A and B are shown apart, each in its own frame.
Chain A
């Protein structure tokens, strides 16, 4: 069997911050022993969800090769990202692309919009001639409902946020990578345009077979487009499974709290319970040995402090939660 497009194996990222002169160095574990596999067929949208500090942005940065892993591997068709040579890295770049949150910052203010397309066509050698390049750009823009004459000669600040983000979708459409890391692509886009971006993701998946790592804090858009979901809490996976399984029947106490806290867009269904947040101090003192959610968990047990729970299978269909509550009802999931 061919190796998967992208495989993340036991990825751990530790940031060491020098505490400054004479102060001790601090270590922050941003991602702990994280594994994920994205198969070529069928193309899928895998959501990585979590709050700030959950490690989801770190994950995007390591997959895109912006920061090296502390330990673990990222394999692209079986080849380790860390050992790639120049040519292989260029090929990796060509096939693992990104769409970012801020649709303004990704444009160099000095250049017109066409610079974005010219750059990728030039460096990835996508077109044989200028004419072919022009046609490719026009095609890609049409897919997201834009026209070259309206946008290419403009400067980024002359376009709306929605237009800018759609041009970013056109850029990845032009490159046609195998995997796209979409880091909060709709969180700065207005509600009425959100659908256009999400729709573009779906059509890239269905028509071109592009897989997505959809990184977001917003469970509701993930619910609309995601195939699988990984919910991170402080650097480790709390729960994973298909999006519908996890959001309809959350098992991990944190995920339950998270899903319940999403405000329901229905005035007749109000939050029914008051919750309290634990003190910052308590959260910070959470040891790295036990379960990270222990200080906030309503169902905590003593053993949660001893060893962090591995993922336990819930229903035999890939739904797993990292919580000892599910140890009995399932045999241990093979450590992936």
Chain B
């Protein structure tokens, strides 16, 4: 028996041991990788950009007005200036600096809001799934109600009542609408995992409840959490940009939404200053597509049935 076992092991082991071999590794999903590169390059721009470019140019009056990007002409027939390669707006803000500061700001608002939402979701979802009964009813009901509230409308009301001047406060306000989804997701997963064989086995092995939550359940939740986090990030950025375009939110901090709002308010479209509203829009599109790809990729990682089946 022993000899036979050894024999098969040597026959099968080299092929089967490679969980991290490059074909088997689900994390090397093409969508995920491209998405991460897209979003990562925006963040990288925020880190490296300030070292190469004088980002103070992002504030009013530092540069000549209404310059087009290098190689183009504005309506007055002026050409671009190499010190402002992407042009300037009508208050003398350098577009390149605006984007270098604004894009990471917009992305960070999204990440922070989704992060708070996730934290709430983890706490509420686990409580709901584990405690059951009354606590579960209340949490589930409030999550369901919050999801049906049109968040942008409420945010507009809040922000017009209390003028928000900090990105952090903005993110916290957005997170008020980012918790129900992770809560529901975690609740559902926790409830099904509670009945699973391995959680029962852990209970039988004397594992305390806290360890069951964090050591047995949490790792299996990670892909779902990541996907939900990214989804919420997208939603929060969209809400933030929406508010900014409506002229709400922090007034002095350069963000992509604020730049687009400036362009609209100052007839950037009529004046044919496409770089003013167009460049931030392109960056937003890159961010959204990047996040979408990450989300699709994570979905495939978390849900093997979407992957190309590799059944034995």
CB-contact partner of A66 in B5, B9, B203, B206, under 8 A: B203
A130, B205: Cα distance in complex, Å: 18
B220 CB-CB contact with A under 8 Å: yes
Q: Is A194 an interface residue (CB 8 A)?
A: no
Interface residues, chain A, CB within 8 Å of chain B? 64, 66, 90, 93-94, 97-98, 100, 102, 104-111, 116, 119-120, 123-124, 145-147, 149-150, 153-155, 158
Which residues of the partner chain B approach A153 to less than 8 Å between Cβ atoms?
A: 17
- Chain B contacts of A66 at CB under 8 A? 200, 203
- Determine whether B274 belongs to the interface, using a CB cutoff of 8 Å to chain A: no
Tell me, in angstroms, the Cα distance from A226 to B65 when the chains sit together: 92
B193, chain A: closest CB distance, angstroms: 9
Contact B200 A119 (CB under 8 A): no
Question: Is residue B19 contacting chain A, with contact meaning CB distance below 8 A?
Answer: yes
- Which residue on chain A has the smallest CB distance to residue B200? A66
Q: Judging by beta carbons under 8 Å apart, are B207 and A123 in contact?
A: yes
What sequence of 0s and 1s flags, for each residue 12-42 of chain B, a beta carbon within 8 Å of any chain A beta carbon? 0100110100000000000000000000000
B83 to chain A, nearest CB (A): 54
**Across the interface, which residues of A come within 8 angstroms of B77, CB to CB?**
none
Q: Is the CB of B220 within 8 A of A93?
A: no
Contact of A93 among B6, B204, B216 (CB under 8 A): B204
Inter-chain CB contacts under 8 Å: number: 70
Q: Are A100 and B16 in contact (CB under 8 A)?
A: no
> Which of A94, A98, A154, A158 has most B Cβ within 10 Å?
A158
- What secondary structure prevails in chain B residues at the interface with A? helix
Can you list the 9 inter-chain pairs with the closest CB atoms, starting with the nearest?
A105-B197, A106-B197, A123-B206, A110-B219, A108-B198, A150-B9, A120-B205, A119-B205, A106-B201
Chain A at the B interface: mostly helix, strand, loop or mixed? loop
Q: Is the CB of B19 within 8 A of A158?
A: yes
**How far does the Cβ of A203 sit from chain B's closest Cβ, in whole Å?**
15
Q: Evaluate whether A154 and B197 lie within 8 angstroms (CB atoms) in the complex, with A93-B204, A93-B206, A94-B206 already known.
A: no
Cβ B5 vs Cβ A146 within 8 A: yes
* Residue on B nearest A96 in the bound complex, by CB: B204
B1 partner residues in chain A, CB cutoff 8 A = 145
Distance (whole angstroms) from the CB of A215 to the closest CB of chain B: 14
CA distance A147 to B6 in the complex (A): 9
| Distance to closest chain A CB from B225 (angstroms) | 13
Residue numbers in A under 8 Å from B196 (CB-CB): 105
Question: B15: nearest residue on chain A (CB-CB)?
Answer: A158
- Residue of A at shortest CB range from B13? A150
User: In the complex, what distance in Å separates the CA atom of A100 from the CA atom of B200?
Assistant: 10
Complexed CA–CA distance, A66 and B201 (Å) = 11
- Cβ-closest chain B residue relative to A181: B204
B91-130: which residues lie under 8 A (CB-CB) from chain A?
none
**A158 CA / B16 CA spacing, docked (Å):** 7
Q: Is the CB of A119 within 8 A of B9?
A: no
Across the interface, do A102 and B197 meet the contact criterion of CB distance under 8 Å? yes
